[in-house]
Structure 1
Amino acid sequence: MRYEQNQKKKKGKWRSVLMVILVLLIAGTGYSYYQYKQGVNQSLKKVSKTDKVVYTFDGKKDQYGDTNILMLGSDARGNEVSRADTIMIAHYNENKGTYKLTSIMRDSYIDIPGYGKHKINSAFARGGPDLMRKTIKENFDIDLQYYAIVHFQGFVQLIDEAFPDGVKIDVEKAMSKNIGVSLKPGVQRLNGKEMLGYVRFRHDAIGDFGRVKRQQQAVKAIGDQLTSINTIPKIPKLIGVITPYINTNMKTSDIIFMSTNYFSKREGPVETLRIPVDNSYTNQRIYGEGAVLAIDVAKNREALHQFIKK
């Protein structure tokens, strides 16, 4: 009799614990959704309403179990077709808990399926993110599961929301030509517009190579400084802020999960790779294309695979 009473008490306690957990989960979900909608509404006040282009994207995980996200930076207005100004691949492996980033230089001169050899950034204008996916698969033998096309104004809004006092970064030289702002050298805090100018500047002796390096430095600085503040509760709102400026086939819940996992479990800096790697390309001029990077595809394919699977 006493045993049965103890069992009933235990069951009663477990029911109470489960009810508390359930209530907390519901409350947490409700709060996250509220914060997300707040971010969306905040950005909708600043962006003109346009219907997003719906793209087909036949992606999947790669052979190493990574979820690869094709990230394209665009300054297109409305639904106009443009080349991709920024091409990156974010690599996420849930089992290993690793996050890596590959930048592909936009002037890389490679085969685009169905079109012959052209600069890789033209693949986006010719066939959207899926042709870019096919181009990367054909040349580098890596599958991409998702895409995210981010309008540069979304980058500005995200920085200003996440960092009211600006992002701390070391500007290595004076920068002003064709970036809409004037930056002085030295360690300083940059707002969203200034950060956009910093990552887009390329009018110096090293051109796009310096620009890609600054983009990767900016990603690391933003990630490190977000980690140093109470970031996780802010994630839903930050994702909401950028949502009106982004075209992606990812579910909002997946974005929140990956972001939360990154900030709660990440160890050490994000590893980065640039394609083409050193000593794997030559500078050439091609009629109709202008200045291009003629790359050793096999060498860069091997470098990318070694980077992902290590």
Structure 2
Amino acid sequence: MSRKKKKRIRWGRVFGALILSSIFIVGLYSIYQYIEGKIKVLNEPLKKAEGKHTFKGAQTENKLDAINVLLLGSDSRGEKQARTDTIMIAHYDPQNNAFKLISLMRDMRVNVPEHGQQKLNAAFSFGGPELLRQTIKENFNLDIHYYAIVDFQGFEKAVDLLVPNGIEVDVPYEMSYGIGITIDEGKQRLHGKELLGYVRFRHDRLSDFGRIQRQQEVLSKLKEEALDTQSIIKLPELVGILNKHIDTNMDSSTLMAVGKDLLTNHSGNVETLRIPEDGSFESKRYKGLGEVLEVDFDQNKEALSTFLEGQGTAQTEE
């Protein structure tokens, strides 16, 4: 009896030691990843605040003021007249750790300064983020403080870093036209390249409306699945990726503060709004422009103001 008891105690100690050793090794590896990421960031600091483009964004009085960031997804492959595939505005309030996201439909017919009536995304082709900023201000009376352009490769790499196991989505039908890959119908886990195709696809009955729904779905799931300790450890490496694939006039301290709040869930839920909102537009066709969205600007300016003031009934992403 005594020998069996002693044997059990010895095996218990060995088992406990193995657990402690495993925890220690995982801890060392995490620290190594963090330090390696820090070294990469130090060797490749963020781009200077002026960015690649001339941008006359609105000024804030202090660091606690809310900011609006023009978020653009670019399909640029080096050409000057690149299109923007995605137009969003991220509203960040550091005092309340609040984060809101506004999706602007690119086919809205708007007045582009010095170019007349055009689709919204044409403003970027004509004059980059600055002309797009002016266009948004003129048509929707919304001030923009910063811009950030992320290319497709940067999106893929950031997704694969934060969620290496991919994100589960339910693809309603096969997607292939215009995205360079084929995504099969059904529930599946998509990684960076496939997710990029999923959020870009617009050749279905919902067109741009479905694309914006998928963008908001993916951003919500990305935020949800990235909220863990490992994501914080990966933050320096993520900044290194952004350094190579993002063009922005945001200073590094602001960019890091926003990213940290999102990854640690300090920002809480993300509220989203689509412009134009339901019931405020109709589809029309114009010579030279094709099919566009004819927008009630007064109604949408009011919707924007209400949403940003926190009194709206916009959709909330968990």
* TM-score when normalising by structure 2: 0.79
After TM superposition, give the deviation of residue 53 of structure 1 in Å.
7.6
Q: Which amino acid aligns with 2:181?
A: V
Give the drift of 1:265. Answer: 4.3
- Kept in 1, the 8 Å contact 2:161–2:234? The answer is no
CA contact under 8 A between 1:62 and 1:68: conserved in structure 2?
Answer: no
Moved more, 252-261 or 135-144: 252-261
Q: Secondary structure at the match of 2:182?
A: coil
Q: Could you tell me which residue of structure 2 aligns to residue 16 of structure 1?
A: none
Aligned to 1:84: 84
Between 227-236 and 206-215, the greater mean CA deviation after superposition: 227-236
1:220 aligns with 2:220: yes
Given that 1:236 and 1:256 are in contact with CA atoms closer than 8 Å, whether structure 2 keeps it comes out as no
SS of equivalent residue, structure 1 residue 188: strand
Q: Is the 8 A contact 1:61 1:143 kept in 2?
A: no
Distance 1:62 1:111, change over 3 A: farther
One-letter amino acid matched to 1:239? V
**Range moving further from structure 2, 238-247 or 300-309:** 238-247
Query: For 2:59 and 2:100, how far apart are their aligned partners in 1?
Result: 15
Q: Per-residue deviation at 1:182? A: 1.9
**Within 5 A, what are the aligned runs for 1:157-172?**
157-172=157-172
Q: CA RMSD in A?
A: 2.6
Q: What do residues 31-63 of structure 1 show as CA deviations (whole Å, max 9, x unaligned)? A: 76314258x69xxxxxxxxxx982111112589
Aligned counterpart, 1:4: none
| Match status 1:58 vs 2:51 | no
Paired residue secondary structure (2:83):
coil
Matched residue type, 1:182: T
Matched-pair identity in %: 43
Contact 1:84-1:124 within 8 A present in 2 as well: yes
Equivalent residue, structure 2, for 1:281: 281
Aligned residue-pair number: 273
**Distance in 1 (alpha carbons) for counterparts of 2:299 and 2:247:** 32
Matching residue's letter, 2:58: K
**SS of match in other structure, 1:187:** strand
Q: Following the alignment from structure 1 to structure 2, what is the Cα–Cα distance between the partners of residues 56 and 87?
A: 18
CA distance in 1, matches of 2:241, 2:165: 17
For residues 116-143 of structure 1, the C-alpha deviation after alignment (integer angstroms, 9 at most, x for no partner) is 1110101111111111111111111111
Q: Distance in 1 between matches of 2:66 and 2:143?
A: 9
1:168 Cα deviation from its structure 2 partner: 2.3
Which aligned pairs between 1:38-187 and structure 2 lie closer than 5 A? Answer: 54-60=52-58, 65-187=65-187
Residues 72 and 35 (structure 1 numbering): CA distance in 2 closer, same or farther, change over 3 Å?
A: same
For 1:300, the equivalent position in structure 2 comes to: 300
> Cα gap change, 1:251/1:129 in structure 2, threshold over 3 Å: closer, same or farther?
same
Greater Cα offset, 197-206 or 171-180: 171-180
- Give me the whole-angstrom Cα distance separating, in 2, the residues matched to 1:101 and 1:238: 21
TM-score, normalized by length of structure 1? Answer: 0.81
SS at match of 1:230: helix
Partners in 2 of 1:65 and 1:120 — Cα distance? 28
> 1:253 — aligned with what?
253
Change over 3 Å in CA distance of 1:302–1:229 after alignment to 2: same
5+ unaligned residues in a row in structure 1: which ranges? 1-28, 42-51
Q: Distance in 1 between matches of 2:181 and 2:85?
A: 18
